[in-house]
Structure 1
Amino acid sequence: MLINQTIITDIKTIIAQSKDKAIRAVDHQRTLMYWHIGKLIFEEEQDGKERTDYGTYLIKYISEKLQPEFGSGFSIRQINLYRQLYRTFPIVHALRAQLSWT
């Protein structure tokens, strides 16, 4: 029985492309999650609170509540970065175009 010798190469290509697409989809969703978290924090801070003190307290509080369950991705530093992501890119639909690595 003759077997097309390129079938394994073709299957490997399909697997590699599918893995790449899955990684990109996860990365995109993670970026959207960070953006939405940053938006919530920014909006909460801007709701008439004293910005400096309240913002510092809010981010620390969020980190203390989320980090035990979700890990180091929710450290004070990371949460500040999520807030900064929203402030830098306030239009969610523009994220993919503006962030070339996505």
Structure 2
Amino acid sequence: MLVNQSIITDIKAIIAESKEKAIRAVDHQCTLMYWHIGKRIFEEGHEGKERADYGTFLIKYLSEQLQPEFGSGFCIRQINLYRQFYRTFEKVHTLYAQLSWSQLWLN
């Protein structure tokens, strides 16, 4: 039986395209997740409290609570970066139109 050899090429292209779309979708969701985390931290830290002391406590507390379950992506340094990320891009629509998670965190 003869098999059209282009089927292999076509299927490989479908697989590659699907993988790329999945990566982009995950990148997009990670970007939004980090932005929303940063926003929530910023909102909590600016309710008239002593900013420096409370902010330091809050970040440390969040890291202690989140890192055991979600891993090193929630260490003190990373959580500070999420907050800074929100402060840099306070409008989420502008954010995801310009950047993806891999552009931000892998560079």
TM bin (shorter chain): over 0.9
Give the share of equivalent positions with the same residue, in percent.
78
Query: Which residue of the partner structure matches residue 2 of structure 2?
Result: 2
Say yes or no: does 1:57 pair with 2:37. Answer: no
1 CA distance for matches of 2:21 and 2:33?
A: 18
Asked if residue 74 in structure 1 is aligned to residue 90 in structure 2, the reply is no
Query: When the two structures are superposed, what TM-score results if normalisation uses the length of structure 1?
Result: 0.94
* Equivalent residue number for residue 28 of structure 1: 28
Structure 1 residue runs of 5 or longer lacking an equivalent are: none
Give the CA deviation at 1:98.
Answer: 2.3
The residue type equivalent to 1:16 in the other structure is: A
Partners of 2:83 and 2:98 lie apart in 1 by 17
Query: Secondary structure in 1 aligned to 2:47?
Result: coil
What is the alpha-carbon root mean square deviation over aligned residues? 1.3
Q: CA deviation at 1:16?
A: 0.3
Please state whether the residue corresponding to 1:64 is helix, strand or coil.
helix
Q: How does 1:80-91 map to 2 (within 5 A)?
A: 80-91=80-91
Matched residues in 2 for 1:18 and 1:69: separation? 30
Equivalent residues, number: 102
After TM superposition, the score normalised by the length of structure 2 is: 0.90
Distance 2:44 2:69 in 1: 22
Greater mean alpha carbon deviation, residues 1-10 or residues 31-40: 1-10
Please list every run of at least 4 consecutive aligned residues from structure 1 whose deviation after the TM superposition is greater than 2 angstroms.
none
Query: Unaligned 5+ residue runs, structure 2?
Result: none
1:92 aligns with 2:92: yes
Within 1, Cα distance between the matches of 2:40 and 2:48?
14
Deviation at 1:49, TM superposition (A): 0.6
